[in-house]
Chain A
Amino acid sequence: MIGILICQTALSIVVASVFLFRPSLTSSAGWKIVAFVGLCVLPALCLVGGMSAHIQRSETTQFCTSCHVMIPYGQSLYIDDANHIPAQHFQNHRVPADMACYSCHADYTLYGPLNDKMRGLERIYLQYVTQPPDPAAIRIPGGFKNAQCLHCHAGARSFEENPVHSPMMSTLISNQVSCLGSGCHDAAHDIASLDQQKFWKPVQ
Chain B
Amino acid sequence: MQAGLLKTYHRSYSSRGLWAWILALALFVFYVLIYFTEVFDPFSRSIGLGGKWDLYGVLYTLFVVGGGVVFLRKHGNSRYQVWRTISVMFVQTVFAFSIPMIMQFFETPGFFFSLFWPLKMDYFYPEFILSYPLPLILYAFLGSLVLVPVLTFFYGKRWYCSWVCGCGGLAETAGDPFRHLSSKHPRAWKFEMFSVHAVLLLAIITTALVIVNWALGRPDASGQVVALYPAFSSVVFKIQGFYGFVVVALLSGVFGVGLYPLLGSRVWCRFFCPLAALMGLIQKFGRFRITVKDDMCISCGNCSTYCEMGIDVRMYAQNNQSFKRAACVGCGICAHVCPRGVLRLENKWDIGHLVRQSKERILDL
- Whether chain B is bound by chain A comes out as no
Query: B: which residues have CB within 8 A of A?
Result: none
